[in-house]
Amino acid sequence: MTQKLIRLDLNENHLLDDEYYKRLLTLDVDLADYPSEYSRELCESLAKYHGLRSEQFMVANGSDMVLDTIFKTMVPEDGIIGYYEPSYRYYPFLANRNERKVLEIPMETDFTIPTTTEFIDEVDALVLCSPNNPTSLSVDKNRIESLLKKEVLLIIDEAYAEYSSEGCLDLIPRYDNLIITRTFSKAWGLAGIRVGYAVSHAQNIMLLREDMLSYNVNVLSNSVALKAIDNCIFMEDALDRTDLEKQYLTEELSLLDFNVLPSETNFLFCRPPYGIDPHELYEILSENGILIKTFEDARVEDHVRITVGTRKENNELLGSLNEIV
Half-sphere exposure of residue 100, counting CA atoms within 13 Å on the CB side? 29
Selected from 6, 42, 94, 129, the binder of ligand PMP by CB under 6 A is: 129
* Angle (deg, nearest 10), helices 90-97 and 63-74: 50
Sole window of 73-81, 102-110, 139-147, 183-191 interacting with ligand PMP (rule: CB under 6 A): 183-191
Q: Residue 247: CB partners within 8 Å, gap ≥ 6?
A: none
**Residue 265 contacts ligand PMP per CB under 6 A:** no
Sole window of 44-52, 57-65, 230-238, 276-284 interacting with ligand PMP (rule: CB under 6 A): 57-65
Greatest CA separation for the chain: 60
Nearest approach in angstroms of CB 88 to ligand PMP is: 4
Q: How far is it, in rounded angstroms, from Cα 322 to Cα 317?
A: 9
Phi, psi of 33 (to 5 degrees): -100, 150
H or E element at residue 183:
strand 178-183
Question: Pattern 193-222, binding to ligand PMP, x per CB under 6 A?
Answer: ---x--------------------------
Selected from 183, 216, 223, 263, the binder of ligand PMP by CB under 6 A is: 183
Sole window of 59-67, 74-82, 218-226, 249-257 interacting with ligand PMP (rule: CB under 6 A): 59-67
Torsion-angle region of residue 42: left (phi > 0), alpha (psi -120 to 50) or beta?
alpha
**Residue 56 contacts ligand PMP per CB under 6 A:** no
**Residue 191 contacts ligand PMP per CB under 6 A:** yes
Q: What is the dihedral of CA 300, 6, 234, 218, to 10 degrees?
A: 90
Q: Toward ligand PMP, which CB reaches closer, 221 or 320?
A: 221
**Residue 159 contacts ligand PMP per CB under 6 A:** yes
Nearest approach in angstroms of CB 84 to ligand PMP is: 12
Selected from 42, 57, 64, 128, the binder of ligand PMP by CB under 6 A is: 64
Residues 131-150 interacting with ligand PMP (rule: CB under 6 A): 133
Q: Residue 55: CB partners within 8 Å, gap ≥ 6?
A: 43, 202, 205, 206
Contact present, 130 and 158 (Cβ < 8 Å): yes
How many chain residues interact with ligand PMP (CB under 6 A)? Answer: 13
Name the site residues for ligand PMP (rule: CB under 6 A): 11, 62-64, 88, 129, 133, 157, 159, 183, 185, 191, 196
